[in-house]
Amino acid sequence: MSLLDFYARNSREALGLLGEHLFLVVISTVVAVAIGVPLGILLTRRPGWRRPILGFANVCQTIPSLALFGFLIPLPFIGGVGARTAIVALVVYALLPIVRNTYTGIVNVDPAVREAGRGMGMTDRELLVMVELPLAAGVIFSGIRVATVIGVGVATLAAAVGDGGLGVYIFRGVSVVDDTLILAGALPAALLALAADGLLGLVERRFAWRT
């Protein structure tokens, strides 16, 4: 059976899984941005926290993703079988690139620009909002882009904890040794990753200030 035949017969299910997949990636990226950007800003204000926090985020990133889903299942409140577990795991993966790029983007703002701003009497908040964040926006968006692309891939594992998404086809295909079924999950996931990359890349370029 060809891939097109498969989609023609299972269009409702396929679209449903694509929707679940998108939902997982969007929610987890939004949560990761909401946590990661403020955390990255905090690290620029508390240099002593940089090593422990970036170190911890780094360690999280090294946990094999399937293992992370497995670890989370038995945990109370955040674990269990279902969307919550998958979202927590995806947020953990998305955090590092977002925190790191927020921190790096702000720290790499031209020191002369920062000194001029402070010398003209800008408060720390004014400097952050009017200067540092706009100038770091390109780097921050590049972190969000990386996080999203990783998220699209990792979200295929959500199926392992019973949370649907395009991984359902992949796992099913692997268990019955059906290449078409594996492709039915993998191909749209790959296209989704490319689309997210392209779209967020456009946003990123919008913030490339010439100096």
Partner 1 sequence: MTPVLEVRGVGYQLPRGGRSLVTDVHFGVGAGETLVLLGRSGSGKTTTLKLVNRLLEPTTGEIHVAGRTTSEADPHRLRRGIGYVIQDVGLFPHFTIEQNVGLVPRLEGWTPDRVAARVRELLTLVGLDPDHFAGRRPHELSGGQRQRIGVARALAADPPLLLMDEPFGALDPITRVELQREFKRLEEQLRKAVVFVTHDVREGLLLGTRIGLMQDGRLVFVGTPGEFRRSDHPECRAFLEAVA
Footprint on this chain of partner 1 (rule: CB under 8 A): 110, 112-123, 126, 130-131, 134-135, 209-211
Which is it for the CA torsion 183, 184, 188, 191, positive or negative?
positive
Which residues are CB-contacts of 36 (< 8 A; sequence separation ≥ 6)?
A: 94, 95, 98, 99, 102, 143, 147
Nearer to partner 1, 135 or 168 (CB): 135
- For residue 121, the minimal CB distance to partner 1 (Å) is 3
Nearer to partner 1, 76 or 119 (CB): 119
| Residue entry with tokens 């904890």 | 161
- For residue 115, the minimal CB distance to partner 1 (Å) is 6
- For residue 112, the minimal CB distance to partner 1 (Å) is 3
- For residue 120, the minimal CB distance to partner 1 (Å) is 5
Which of 147, 146, 165 has the alpha carbon at shortest distance from 157?
165
Nearer to partner 1, 12 or 125 (CB): 125
